[in-house]
Amino acid sequence: MKQQYGQILVTPKPFVKWAGGKRQLIPILNQNLPRSFGTYFEPFLGGGALLFHMLTERNGQKCSISDLNSDLVLSYITIRDRIDSLITSLKSHERNYQKDSKSYYYSVRESNPRSAIEKTSRLLFLNRTCFNGLYRVNSKGKFNVPLGKYTNPNIVNEDNLRAVSDILQASKVSINCRDFEAVLRDAKKGDLVYFDPPYQPVSNTANFTSYTNKSFSIDDLNRLAELCKNLDAKGCHVLLSNSDSEDVSELFSKKPWKVSRIQANRSINSDSKKRTGHFELLIKNY
């Protein structure tokens, strides 16, 4: 479904740049979806590339989306419910940034607003103006990315935000902040669960991204593998993306898992020379 503004047709797309975002892999993910399914679950939501594809291509698709990053989840809710106030707040960030980008960026980075509107506009502003559009927090959960080098960043991006707001309002989407394991309670036979967790490092020097103040450990990966088994036993369709690492291959080496290596291009890496193609795993039980 495209949203119409004047003469422009806007297809809603991720409103944040997110490490591990799947926009470039949508064609291959789409080819790997089951022919039919009930509710679509995305418990490691991030920028929601596949979610927006689902909502655009499948009118009336019921979805349940969640993530452990509370500011990110709040952004989806604020965009859905309070788009006009959010746009006003972002326009104010844009005006201030244009006066003195450096000092304004760091003052916003240090701030700790309380209201949903200001928290969301802070996250979107920082995402548009920080180095590499990366979201990274330290062990205390404090956003710590430096200012990026942009001449004219699109801080408000009003058309896309309104398109996202409209499609979230028009669709049956439940939005929650929670750990991925909670999906087991809600998913039923015939539903589809797409897991796109923080990736296991393929080497000790691979770059690592902290989306929350808790990193994704090998215990979490084991929990995820157990959860996939339980969802399979319930009759759910399970699709999982991950890095081409030994830990992952081993955990999903047996039936019912079908593993394919797919070519991907990771765009968030501080060293542009390392942003080349590489292989990832796509794992499914159908």
Ligand X SMILES: C[S@@+](CC[C@H](N)C(=O)[O-])C[C@H]1O[C@@H](n2cnc3c(N)ncnc32)[C@H](O)[C@@H]1O
Please give the residue ranges that form the binding site for ligand X (CB under 6 A): 14, 18, 20-22, 43-44, 46-49, 67-69, 179-180, 196-198, 211-212, 216, 220
How many Å from the N-terminal Cα to the C-terminal Cα in the chain?
28
At its nearest, how many Å lie between ligand X and the CB of residue 129?
19
Q: Which is nearer to ligand X, 18 or 97 (CB)?
A: 18
On whether the CB atoms of residues 47 and 38 are closer than 8 A, the answer is no
On whether the CB atoms of residues 160 and 126 are closer than 8 A, the answer is no
At its nearest, how many Å lie between ligand X and the CB of residue 104?
26
At its nearest, how many Å lie between ligand X and the CB of residue 254?
24
The CA–CA distances, whole Å, from 52 to 12, 15, 22, 67 equal 7, 10, 11, 15
Q: Which is nearer to ligand X, 221 or 236 (CB)?
A: 221
Phi, psi dihedral angles at 33 (to 5 degrees): -80, 150
At its nearest, how many Å lie between ligand X and the CB of residue 130?
16
At its nearest, how many Å lie between ligand X and the CB of residue 210?
9
Q: Which is nearer to ligand X, 44 or 252 (CB)?
A: 44
Q: Which is nearer to ligand X, 153 or 197 (CB)?
A: 197
Residue by residue, DSSP assigns 14-65 as: -SS--TT--GGGHHHHHHTS-SS-S-EEESS-TT-HHHHHHHHHSTT--EEE
At its nearest, how many Å lie between ligand X and the CB of residue 65?
10
- Roughly what angle, to the nearest 10 degrees, separates helices 70-81 and 116-129? 110
Q: Which is nearer to ligand X, 48 or 153 (CB)?
A: 48
On whether the CB atoms of residues 268 and 133 are closer than 8 A, the answer is yes
Q: Which residues touch 104 (CB under 8 Å, ≥6 apart)?
A: 93, 96, 97
DSSP state for residue 182 in the 8-state scheme: G
- Roughly what angle, to the nearest 10 degrees, separates helices 49-57 and 158-170? 60
At its nearest, how many Å lie between ligand X and the CB of residue 184?
12
Q: Which is nearer to ligand X, 56 or 104 (CB)?
A: 56
Q: Which is nearer to ligand X, 212 or 249 (CB)?
A: 212
